[in-house]
Structure 1
C-alpha cells in the first residue's frame, strides 16, 4: 500500500507504481514484503532492499533459487534500482508506469536516476508489542470484535 494512500487516503497512478515496485522486489528476492528482516533497522523488504542498495550490495538480494545464470547481474541491479525508484516515499519522485516499461525494455539505457529512501523502510528501536492471549479482543466500546488472523 502506497504511503499517500495509507496515511491520507489518496490514490493515484503513482500508487500503482508503488505496488509494482514492491512486487518487483518480492520477485527478485523471493521474500514477502512484510516479515522479519534482521538487517539493522529494516522493518520490511523495502528497508532490507534499501540497506543493501546503500551498501552497494544489491546483487546479494537475488533469490538463490533464481541464480545468475537466469538473471545476469547487470539486469538484477537494474531491476533492484527500478524497484526502489518505484517505492520512493514521495509520489512525485516515482516514475510513471510508461517510464518503468521504457527503462525495463531499453537494453542500452543511459544512467538511471538514483532512488531516494523508500517509504516505511526504517523501523523503530523497540520491538512491536504483541497482544497477549489474555488481553481483550473487543473494541473499546465493546460493540465490535476484531480478531487478527494470519493468511
Structure 2
C-alpha cells in the first residue's frame, strides 16, 4: 500500500495532515524508501545499519531502491497472488522468527 502511494507520488496521503505542506517531500520520500528496504520479509535482504545511515545521508539509496524495485516487480510477475503479502503459513509457523532475524551479524 505505501509503495503504491509512493509510486503515485501521493505523499500527502502518508504524512500527518497536521503538518499540512510544512515538510520536505524529498526527505519524506527518502525515509519511506529506507523504511521499506528495512522491512523486507527476508532478513538477509535488509540493509545493515551502517548502510541505512548512509542512505539517510543520501548515499547509495537510489541504486539500492532501483535494485529492490526490479526484484519486487519480478517477484510480482512470477507470483502475482503473493503480491498481497498475506501468507497463511506465517501465522501458525513453528519457525522462531526472532532467531532468524538475529542470526546474521550486522
The alignment's TM-score, normalised by the length of structure 2, stands at 0.51
Bigger relative contact order, structure 1 or 2, given CA contacts below 8 A and separation 6+? 1
Deviations 1:85-128 (A, max 9, x none): 11112211110112112221x2x5352412455xx97266xxxx
Gaps of 5+ in 1: 1-47, 125-151
- Aligned-residue RMSD, C-alpha: 2.7
Match of residue 84 from structure 1: 36
- Structure whose residues are more often helix by fraction: 2
Which entry has the higher C-alpha Rg, 1 or 2? 1
- Are 1:59 and 1:77, in contact at CA under 8 Å, matched by a contact in 2? yes
Determine which of 61, 64, 77 is the counterpart of 1:113.
Answer: 64
Gaps of 5+ in 2: 73-81, 87-106
- Are 1:87 and 1:94, in contact at CA under 8 Å, matched by a contact in 2? yes
Match of residue 20 from structure 2: 67
Structure 1 counterpart SS, 2:59: coil
Matching of residues 43-54 of structure 1 within 5 Å: 48-53=1-6
